Amino acid sequence: MNIRTSTLQRETIAKIEFRPAISIIMPFTPVITAKKNLDQHLKNVMAKVESILSAQYIAEIAFPAIIKLRNTLAGLNYNSFKKSVAIFLSPITEAVFYFDIEMEEKILIDSPFKIRDLIGCKKQKKEYLILQLGPLFSKMYLGTEQGLQLIKSNMQQAALYAENTVVQEAPHSCDITDQRENPGKKFLFQMDQGLSLMLRSHHLPVILVGPGNLLAEFRMLTKNEEHLVHFIPGDFEPDGLLQSKAIPAEIVNRWERIQQLHLLQVIIKAKTLNKLKTGLQDTMKATMQGKGKLLVIGKKFLRNAADSQMNNPFFKTDFTTNTDFFIKSEIDNIIKNVFEHGGDVAYLDDGLLKNYGELTLIEEYRQEGASFESER
């Protein structure tokens, strides 16, 4: 007979600290990984957990948890096309999530089950675009931790001598006149159009490199201002960036700031397009309706939410499954909603979101690897 507990009983149970509690976040790509390699990885994870549990608990307590975890690992979906898995287990709780975001492996024993912990486990990729402008050329590079890769090259001579060229997408009539009378400005407009096309498939921060006067002129006419996050003035040879070690090093050293500035500028752009929700209640309502592609949270807000949770916890029982999964704060509930509907979540340093209530939700945002599904 299946006896379901009442809401009051479940919330009472949730307030009791049941141990051992096991949280496992790890890469999981069964479709593209040889089964023997994947099985070995799961055996290694199981061995780590067994070692910890055996050291911290007597056999009568550790063994049931070990058996439960073995059964859970054996039941993982080997047909999943996702990239990672998160497993949460306790004597009364079991939840398994598959998602497209790449995660670093992390094993926690007796830590609270917090969806927000997944954010810190995301594999951080340093990817960016460099648009190099010169008096007679432009080059675009994709930057990664492995270095720079040239993906597009243009020479201004083609624009200077092209016949019957039609000016495209000039925002104002005066811009059309400027382009006809100033081939250099026309070339910059064309480079901005090329950048717009590239950003449709590579939603990345953009570093602008070149002589100061060209950078200033490009910034005045670009339609992609929310992606321009760093500027390196200087006269560089057309192939100079590929040989340069200083510029990639400068970007890596400033990476956290570059990434956060990119997010902030995307937020500003979303507000101008009326695609931004702010505040706890509006954000909660939107995520419950499946809206929102990028949730950005101020670190101070999250700390305050954690302190409030300790004094006045918010419990939510998921009635859509036969298991009990307890979310112990409203912010965790919002994060869970965003993940489940294919969105992504990021943090910003204290103060950067002060004009947006420290909690913002962008309704439309293209981000690679941001879909998420759950299975329990």
Residues 157 and 177 in one domain: yes
| Residue that is last in its domain, among 89, 123, 157 | 123
| Residue that is last in its domain, among 253, 279, 302 | 253
Q: 369: domain CATH number?
A: 3.30.1330.30
| Residue that is last in its domain, among 61, 94, 123 | 123
Selected residue with higher pLDDT from 108 and 327: 108
pLDDT for residue 200 is more than 50: yes
What average pLDDT score do residues 290-302 get?
85
Sheet holding 106-109, edge to edge: 106-109, 22-27, 84-89, 94-99, 372-375
Could you tell me if residue 132 is inside a domain?
Answer: yes
Could you tell me if residue 275 is inside a domain?
Answer: yes
Q: What is the chain's mean pLDDT, rounded?
A: 79
Residues 239 and 259 in one domain: no
What pTM value is reported for the model? Answer: 0.68
pLDDT in tens, 70-87: 999 999 999 988 888 989
Could you tell me if residue 6 is inside a domain?
Answer: no
Residues 269 and 228 in one domain: no
Which stretch of 61-65, 91-95, 138-142, 280-284 has the lowest confidence by average pLDDT? 91-95
Could you tell me if residue 4 is inside a domain?
Answer: no
Residue 24, pLDDT score:
93
Residue span of the structural domain in which 113 resides = 16-123
Residues 208 and 260 in one domain: no
Residues 106 and 154 in one domain: no
Residue 29, pLDDT score:
93
Residue 242, pLDDT score:
79
Confidence tier at 319 by pLDDT (50, 70, 90): very low
Could you tell me if residue 81 is inside a domain?
Answer: yes
Look at the chain and report how many structural domains it folds into.
3
pLDDT for residue 184 is more than 80: no
